[in-house]
Amino acid sequence: MGAAGGGLSNQALSKVPAEVKKPIIWLCAIWASYCGALHGFNTSNIAGVMGMSTFRQEFGWDHLSSGTVANYRGWVTSSLLLGQTAGILLAGPIMETRGRKVIILMAAVTYTIGSLLMAVNFGSLAELLDGRVVSGLGSGMAYSAGPCYLSEIAPAELRGMLSTFYNAGIMSSIAGAYWINFASSQILTDKFQWVVPMVLQMIPSTVLILGYPFVPESPRFLAMRGQLEAAHQTLSRIRGGLDDSHEYFANEWSDLSRHIQSQAEENIFRASVILLKRVWTEKPVRKILIFVLIIQTFFIMSGGNSITYYSPNILKSVGFDSEKVLLFTAVYGLIKFLSVFIYAIFLTERFGRRPLLLIGATINLICLIYLSAYLGKANITTASEHASPAAVVAVVSLCVFAVGYGIGWGPSFSLAASEICPTAIRGPVVTLAFVYQNLLSFGITRGFPNMTEAMHPYGPFALFSACTFCGIIWVFFSFPECRGRSMESTETLFILPWYKIGFAPVEDQFVYTLPDDEKERTHEHKEDIASKSDV
pLDDT at 520: 44
Q: Is the pLDDT of residue 234 over 90?
A: yes
**Closest by Cα among 156, 145, 143, 161 to 85:** 143
The string of pLDDT tens digits covering residues 320-355 is: 665 677 788 888 888 888 887 787 777 776 787 889
- State the pLDDT confidence band at 282, using cuts at 50, 70 and 90: confident
Q: Is the pLDDT of residue 434 over 70?
A: yes
Helices (H), ranges, 15-153: 23-50, 53-58, 66-97, 100-119, 125-153
**Closest by Cα among 331, 346, 481, 448 to 395:** 331
Q: Select the more confidently predicted residue: 425 or 225.
A: 225
The string of pLDDT tens digits covering residues 165-185 is: 887 888 889 889 989 988 998
* CB environment 21-33: b (16+ within 10 A), e (fewer): bbebbeebbbbbb
Backbone angles phi, psi at 264, to 5 degrees: -65, -30
| Helix axis angle, 304-318 to 322-342, nearest 10° | 150
Amino acid (1-letter code) at residue 250: A
CB atoms closer than 10 angstroms to residue 68: 11
d(CA 49, CA 64): 17
d(CA 362, CA 398): 14
pLDDT at 533: 35
Backbone angles phi, psi at 382, to 5 degrees: -120, 160
The string of pLDDT tens digits covering residues 221-231 is: 898 888 889 99
Which DSSP symbol is given to 76?
A: H
- Per cent of the chain over pLDDT 90 is 24
DSSP three-state, residue 387: coil
d(CA 478, CA 475): 5
Q: Which domains does the chain have, with CATH numbers?
A: 18-517 (1.20.1250.20)
- State the pLDDT confidence band at 28, using cuts at 50, 70 and 90: very high
Q: Select the more confidently predicted residue: 191 or 265.
A: 191
| 478, 106 Cβ separation under 8 angstroms | no
| 309, 446 Cβ separation under 8 angstroms | no
Which residues lie below 8 Å from residue 376, measured CB to CB, with a gap of 6+? Answer: 456, 458, 462
Handedness of CA 41, 42, 45, 49 (dihedral sign): positive
**Closest by Cα among 89, 37, 91 to 209:** 37
**How much is the average pLDDT of 133-149?**
91
The string of pLDDT tens digits covering residues 32-88 is: 999 999 988 888 888 888 888 889 888 888 888 877 887 888 888 889 989 999 998
pLDDT at 330: 81
